[in-house]
Amino acid sequence: MEKFTTLKGIVAPLDRANVDTDAIIPKQFLKSIKRAGFGPNLFDEWRYLDHGEPGRDNSHRPLNPGFVLNQPCYKGASILLARDNFGCGSSREHAPWALEDYGFRALIAPSYADIFYNNCFKNSLLPIVLDGTIVDRLFNEVATTPGYSLAIDLTAQHITTPTGARFSFEVDAFRKHCLLNGLDDIGLTLQHTGDIKRYEAHRQTETPWLFSYPGGTIDDDVSSIVPPG
Amino acid sequence: MTGKTLYDKLWDAHVVRVEPDGTTLLYIDRHLVHEVTSPQAFEGLRLAGRKPWRRDANLAVADHNVPTTDRDKPVADPVSRLQIETLDDNCAEFGITEFKMNDVRQGIVHVIGPEQGATLPGMTVVCGDSHTSTHGAFAALAQGIGTSEVEHVLATQCLLQKKVKNMRISVDGALAPGITAKDIVLAIIGKIGTAGGTGYVIEYAGSAIRALSMEGRMTVCNMSIEAGARCGIIAVDDTTIAYLKDRPYAPQGKLWEQAVAAWRALKSDDDAAFDKEVQLDAAGIKPQVSWGTSPEMVTTIDGRVPDPMQEKDSVKRGGMERALVYMGLKPGTAITDIALDKIFIGSCTNARIEDLRAAAHVARGRKVAKNIKLAMVVPGSGLVKLQAEKEGLDKIFLDAGFEWRAPGCSMCLAMNADRLEPGERCASTSNRNFEGRQGQGGRTHLVSPAMAAAAAIAGHFVDVTKLQVASSK
């Protein structure tokens, strides 16, 4: 995973609550078996005037001029300012993949949906939670300041506005450590293989039925297979 | 010392180790895998030269992309076909049990887990799908995860997570005839909002919840995520145990006895403390219909489309205004005046046998209205389909003018060919009414299976409780 330490970037405002992951990346793009390449279809149904399909060249599609990311002043934005419950709905990690692939490295909102929030940290995308009144103020400043940008310092856990106002944010110590160092979760967990094995042995004694699935072998009986019509 | 909640007990039983900041390595008993959120995880394993930690903890099935017609032919959409074949190949390569597309046990992952007894009380259950909360109906700590976590669980049998807070939603009293689990959970979401459960595990309790079948409990837990909660749970009782007995993956003989004894303890202690409590009166719940583009935008069948001008909060008002434009609705319109184009009875929320029975009960001897272009019934699994056919439900639906399809997620999220065209309006038993969810420009109204069937017959929304009274005279 890529490290995240500091970031200075243009802020794009998405002024609506409950932005769901279906809106962030519509379902037809989930058919991809790859992890990259979702950026051109980020917010596809809001961003383009026609219907998008996977594998299509997006560069000639008609853009929706009313959508915020199509406005020239937000070109190259790396920070997305959003409202409450951002990323609600499906658990698709394609949502943070699409945001990251588009060029966003950080999000700012009063709240996020739990699964989405968690998925962001796995992709060096920093979801910052700020109080609703501060978020309101940032929306106002973005609207009135061309080229509005913010500086984010993860180590110090604060953001700084162009006029020097500073707001601190909370982040779990473990998640911060992983982001700052670009650590791979699986590699970290596998350092505790002994703990997992000990737990498993104990659990096998306590709840043996969870370790003897009658149908759970790969040589499953396939005689019951009939086409469902 | 205060007692433990059911969530506390499930959590404590699965802790492998804890980091200083509380981040916990949590052991996972059951991992359900489907074709959409797993290919990148298997690819990650391959690139790192890793193997699944415990093959028999995994169970895979393709459900999101599968067609619901012509199942004897290859999947027509090459992109969908590749994704399904990739799951087949990955399961073969890594030695994971998979119910393939034409296996009678194939179906929606959240229907087949419980149906097979692969979901058991006391388990931690994960799947790369937010509706994994469904399995919480069995007093399992069940949650949706992203693809990075799918890979993490495959490789380590664990999840890295911090404990969240406890919420209890108590629904007491008796439901009026014709009111179902779907109406309960939509009423809950209408009350607490789509972010009301964020940061909590919701335990559903009260006499109305205890009176539900396992199918009904699964419907309630399924939509916990629509209230913002990753997990919804319900304590074990006789209903839970009766449902699981003799299921293929459930323990047998002595192990069954031993398991049942342990499962009986899977309930919150009487003196357990909850961070938040919500109460609902079951008797007051009416048939629910969503009017907007978020599940919290819901009202009752005798209600009207709300007026955004009455909303003081500007962000909320903006959301309502956008929703009404998208939905093509005017404030003040009676819900019963909303005419429909399509009907979808299916999804991990409402495609179990009891749901199909409830819909068939309404459809029996009636005909789908002329203005309905398509009314489809998509059973949750091949076994649900077989059972329904044994009971003659397929004939009832076909005689009424519904289509009877093969199992899968279908038009809940429209990843296969089943979808709404722009502007089409659908009464759907699914779980999300987001913009574009059932097809770009499609307009979704969430309802119960009985309400969907009644809407199919009438061509617009009607109060199913009154319809049933009329038919029994």
Contact (CB<8Å) B386/A228: yes
In the predicted structure, residue A32 carries a pLDDT above the cut 60: yes
In the predicted structure, residue A81 carries a pLDDT above the cut 80: yes
Among A48, A53, A111, A189, which would you mutate to test the B interface (most chain B Cβ atoms within 10 Å of its Cβ)? A189
State the average pLDDT for chain B. 97
Nearest to B200 by CA among B171, B168, B172: B168
Contact (CB<8Å) B27/A118: no
Q: Which residues of B touch A45 (CB under 8 A)?
A: 435-436, 440
The set of residues, in sequence order, having a beta carbon less than 8 Å from that of B352 and lying 6+ positions away, is B111, B215, B218, B380, B384
Nearest to B164 by CA among B29, B270, B22: B22
In the predicted structure, residue B468 carries a pLDDT above the cut 70: no
Instruction: Express each pLDDT in B422-441 by its tens digit.
Output: 999 999 999 999 999 999 99
Instruction: Express each pLDDT in B324-337 by its tens digit.
Output: 999 999 999 999 99
CA B192 to CA B296: how far, in whole Å? 8
Taking a C-beta distance cutoff of 8 angstroms, is the pair A86, B194 a contact? no
DSSP letters spanning B222-240: HGGGGGT-SEEE----HHH
Q: How far is CA A99 from the centre of its chain?
A: 7
Instruction: Express each pLDDT in B278-317 by its tens digit.
Output: 999 999 999 999 999 999 999 999 999 999 999 999 999 9
Residue B228 φ/ψ region, left for φ over 0, alpha for ψ in the -120 to 50 degree band, beta for the rest: left
Contact (CB<8Å) A18/B19: no
Structure tokens at B131: 């509706």
For chain A, how many residues are written?
229
CA B29 to CA A45: how far, in whole Å? 38
Taking a C-beta distance cutoff of 8 angstroms, is the pair B294, B319 a contact? yes
Nearest to B130 by CA among B117, B142, B148, B118: B142
Q: How far is CA B322 from the centre of its chain?
A: 26
Contact (CB<8Å) A215/B79: no
Q: Residue A218: what pLDDT?
A: 36
Nearest to B123 by CA among B27, B228, B264: B27
Q: With the C-alpha atoms ordered B297, A30, B98, B147, is the resulting torsion angle positive or negative?
A: negative
Structure tokens at B461: 């929304």
Neighbours of B469 (CB within 10 A): 12
Contact (CB<8Å) B116/A215: yes
B49 CB-contact burial (10 Å; exposed 0-12 / middle 13-18 / buried 19+): exposed
Nearest 5°: the CA angle B228, B233, B237 is: 160
Structure tokens at B141: 């700590």
| Helix (H), strand (E) counts: chain A | 8, 7
Q: With the C-alpha atoms ordered A50, A55, A56, A59, is the resulting torsion angle positive or negative?
A: positive
Q: Is residue A64 within 8 angstroms of chain B, CB to CB? A: no
Mean pLDDT score, B228-251: 97
CA A200 to CA A191: how far, in whole Å? 16
The residue with tokens 């698709």 is A92
- Tell me how far CA of residue B452 lies from CA of A141, B240, B249, B387, B445, in angstroms: 47, 27, 33, 21, 9
Pairing of strands B24-27, B158-161: antiparallel
Strand partners, B202: B167, B232
Contact (CB<8Å) B228/A213: no
Contact (CB<8Å) B436/A26: yes
CA B118 to CA B92: how far, in whole Å? 20
Nearest to B232 by CA among B29, B437, B10: B10
Pairing of strands A6-13, A149-153: antiparallel
Q: How confident is the model at residue B119 (pLDDT cuts 50, 70, 90)?
A: very high
| Percent of residues, chain B, with pLDDT higher than 70 | 99
Helix (H, G, I), strand (E, B) or coil at B326: helix
Q: Distance, in angstroms, between B100 CA and closest chain A CA?
A: 9
Structure tokens at B337: 């005046």
In the predicted structure, residue B342 carries a pLDDT above the cut 50: yes
Mean pLDDT score, A52-70: 95
Structure tokens at B340: 């429909």
Instruction: Express each pLDDT in A212-229 by its tens digit.
Output: 765 444 334 433 434 333
Instruction: Express each pLDDT in B123-174 by its tens digit.
Output: 999 999 999 999 999 999 999 999 999 999 999 999 999 999 999 999 999 9
Nearest to B335 by CA among B391, B291, B396: B291
Strand partners, A126: A106
Taking a C-beta distance cutoff of 8 angstroms, is the pair B95, B52 a contact? yes
Q: Residue A227: what pLDDT?
A: 38
Q: Residue B201: what pLDDT?
A: 98
Q: Is residue A122 within 8 angstroms of chain B, CB to CB? A: yes
The beta-strand segments (E) located in chain A are 6-13, 79-81, 106-109, 126-129, 149-153, 158-160, 166-168
Taking a C-beta distance cutoff of 8 angstroms, is the pair B294, A18 a contact? yes
Contact (CB<8Å) B195/A18: yes
Q: Residue A213: what pLDDT?
A: 62
Q: Is residue A199 within 8 angstroms of chain B, CB to CB? A: yes
For chain B, how many residues are written?
473
Measured in degrees and rounded to the nearest 5, phi and psi for residue A81 equal: -95, 125
Taking a C-beta distance cutoff of 8 angstroms, is the pair B145, B135 a contact? no
> Which of A45-49, A209-213, B257-261 is the least confident region?
A209-213
Q: Residue B467: what pLDDT?
A: 83
Neighbours of A15 (CB within 10 A): 14
Neighbours of B133 (CB within 10 A): 32
Q: Is residue A50 within 8 angstroms of chain B, CB to CB? A: no
Nearest to B147 by CA among B62, B34, B228, B9: B34
- The answer to ipTM > 0.90 is yes
In the predicted structure, residue A183 carries a pLDDT above the cut 60: yes
Strand partners, B303: none
Taking a C-beta distance cutoff of 8 angstroms, is the pair A91, B147 a contact? no
Neighbours of B331 (CB within 10 A): 15
Q: Distance, in angstroms, between A84 CA and closest chain B CA?
A: 8
In the predicted structure, residue B1 carries a pLDDT above the cut 80: no
Structure tokens at A71: 């406005």
CA A143 to CA B264: how far, in whole Å? 58
Q: How confident is the model at residue B343 (pLDDT cuts 50, 70, 90)?
A: very high
- Tell me how far CA of residue B94 lies from CA of A211, B113, B348, in angstroms: 19, 20, 27
Instruction: Express each pLDDT in B75-93 by its tens digit.
Output: 999 999 999 999 999 999 9
Q: Distance, in angstroms, between A197 CA and closest chain B CA?
A: 9
Structure tokens at B393: 């439900």
Taking a C-beta distance cutoff of 8 angstroms, is the pair B239, B214 a contact? yes
Q: Residue A184: what pLDDT?
A: 86
